[in-house]
Amino acid sequence: MASESEHSGGLTTIVDPATLETPSLQAVRAYWAEKRQGRTMPRRADIDPLDLKPYLPGIFMIDVLPPVADFRFRLIGTAITQRYQRDSTGKTLREVYAAAKPALFDWLTSVFTAVIREKCPVFTRAPLHAVQKEHIAYESIHLPLSEDGEAVTIIFGMTHFIVPAAARRHVPVRSSSGNKK
């Protein structure tokens, strides 16, 4: 049964959403569900990046660090690193957000903890506060992976960015030579 919570700053969390509106998030969730093969959660080895080629720029994997004190960004797709203007691969959630963005750190910790506790998909929607781009929103689906079928070891998922049409018109386009068009 889905449960939704709204946090300050437009941060939304839905545990076990009944539906997803964004087609790419739907596709990644359906892939995860297929790979479960009747289990609560698939294993990391069940996820083949070649199966997800159209979605790779938005894919992420986050290691759950025992004893669930922190999370390490294992894989971050290029669409995510471009929007955040950094590549946090190999860094922990605490390293990236605890000092600089404590409210965001707390929210993300609660999202990842919900995935671990509930062992089911968790949907999030929020403005891109992390890099002061509140005009851009993102939606993510967070999906548990488990090596033993009990403990969540990796959070796998996808992020989709929503850029308003007005903002897209103001982004300078660069040619392959680096000159503005």
Q: What angle do CA 119, 11, 13 make, to 5 degrees?
A: 20
Cα gap 129→126, rounded to integer Å: 8
**pLDDT for position 8:** 53
Q: What are 19-37's pLDDT values in tens digits?
A: 999 999 999 999 999 999 9
Q: Quick: pLDDT tens for 91-122.
A: 999 999 999 889 989 999 999 999 999 999 99
Residue ranges of the domains in the chain? 3-164
Residues 6+ apart with CB under 8 A from 179: none
Report the top-level CATH class of 3-164.
alpha beta
Q: Which residues contact 131 (CB under 8 A, 6 or more apart)?
A: 83, 84, 85
pLDDT tier, 179 (very low <50, low <70, confident <90, very high otherwise): very low
Secondary structure (3-state) at 151? coil
